[in-house]
Every structure is written in structure tokens, then in C-alpha cells.
């Protein structure tokens, strides 16, 4: 399975073992073949992650679930060779990367809201400059962690208000209607 931007056909709606994308005749070891199912798991606290599970061809039972790392948004698809692959959007992407991701994939309502919040944060970060300096004895103290968090919060609120009033461009629409 490839993790990256190789998706040529997105798989929409695979969000549980019951609605998973199923690959028959999947390699299992050197000689055996099995069935694999894959879906995107959502956790409100951590985000989304890709999950796969195979059937043990020796006993016919489902093996333990293999889960990936959480990302803000994760999509499932197949590459040009028909192989399963995933693409993800994390919290530290630029405005351009977020817009490209939203334009490339069909996102559900929850994913669009998450992408919108990532966009607000990315735009807010443009207003912030971070300077690292060596402090000598007698120099005035720098910013506290609480002051820094408050500046980030205000920048995000400002950008959210700009987005809601239409003063900045909204998230681009994906290739089709949201499921």
C-alpha cells in the first residue's frame, strides 16, 4: 500500500468494517492469497486514520486490525495499478496544499469543516512571525507561552471572520457532491 498522492480513483463511503473497500485475492505471505478490507476510521478526538484487516486463509477468521497514524483528514483510493493507497491532510499544511487537497478529493461534510478550520489556521499563521534569539542577563523577558497561544487564537478568529464574511476565498469544491 502506498501512502502519498498516487490516488487516481477515490473510494468514498468506506468508513466502517461493514462498508469497507474489499480487495479479493490479496497476497498473504509468499504463496497464500486472502481477502483484505480497508476503511477510514474517524475519532472525534484524534482525527482520521486508514485501517486494514485481512482474513487468515488458514482458519478463515479476520486477523487483528492494522491501523495507521491519525491525520486531520484521510482519504482512501486506488492508484493507476489498482493498488490501494491513502492520502492525508495534516495540521501543518500551507493554504495552497489545503486548497489543492480540497479541490482534488470529494470530502464529506465533517472533512470539509475540518479542512476549513485547517485553512483558517494556515491563513492565521501568515500574520505571525517567530523570532528565536539568545537572551543575555539583563535582557527584557520574552513572550510567555500563554501570550503566544493568545496571539495564535486571535489570528485564527480574525481569519475565520474573514472567511465567514466572504472577504477571503472559501475552500474550493471537490470533484463531485459530498456523500
pLDDT tens digits along 45-92: 999 999 999 999 999 999 999 999 999 999 999 999 889 999 999 988
In terms of residues, how long is the chain? 179
d(CA 31, CA 55): 15
Q: Which of 3, 6, 66, 64 is nearest to 39 (CA)?
A: 66
Cβ(85)–Cβ(5) below 8 Å: no
pLDDT in tens, 132-150: 878 888 888 778 888 888 8
DSSP three-state, residue 147 = helix
> For the whole model, what pTM was predicted?
0.81
Cell numbers for 150:
493568545
DSSP reduced 3-state for 47: strand
Counting residues of the chain whose pLDDT is more than 90, the rounded percentage is: 60
Q: Are the C-beta atoms of 82 and 154 separated by less than 8 Å? A: no
Q: How far is CA 109 from the centre of its chain?
A: 14
Quick check: 49 and 71 in contact, CB under 8 A? Answer: yes
Amino acid at each position: 500500500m502506498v501512502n502519498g498522492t498516487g490516488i487516481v480513483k477515490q473510494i468514498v463511503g468506506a468508513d466502517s468494517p461493514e462498508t469497507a473497500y474489499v480487495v479479493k485475492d490479496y497476497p498473504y505471505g509468499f504463496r497464500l492469497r486472502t481477502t483484505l478490507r480497508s476503511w477510514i476510521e474517524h475519532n472525534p478526538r484524534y482525527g482520521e486514520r486508514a485501517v486494514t484487516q485481512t482474513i487468515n486463509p488458514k482458519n478463515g477468521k479476520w486477523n487483528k486490525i492494522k491501523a495507521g497514524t491519525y491525520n486531520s483528514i484521510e482519504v482512501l483510493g486506488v492508484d493507476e495499478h489498482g493498488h490501494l493507497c491513502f492520502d492525508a491532510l495534516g495540521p501543518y499544511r500551507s493554504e495552497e496544499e489545503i486548497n489543492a487537497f480540497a479541490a482534488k478529493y470529494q470530502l464529506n461534510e465533517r472533512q470539509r469543516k475540518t479542512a476549513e478550520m485547517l485553512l483558517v489556521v494556515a491563513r492565521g499563521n501568515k500574520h505571525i512571525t517567530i523570532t528565536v534569539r539568545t537572551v543575555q542577563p539583563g535582557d527584557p523577558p520574552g513572550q510567555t507561552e500563554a501570550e503566544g497561544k493568545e496571539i495564535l487564537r486571535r489570528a485564527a478568529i480574525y481569519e475565520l471572520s474573514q472567511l465567514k464574511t466572504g472577504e477571503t476565498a472559501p475552500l474550493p469544491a471537490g470533484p463531485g457532491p459530498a456523500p
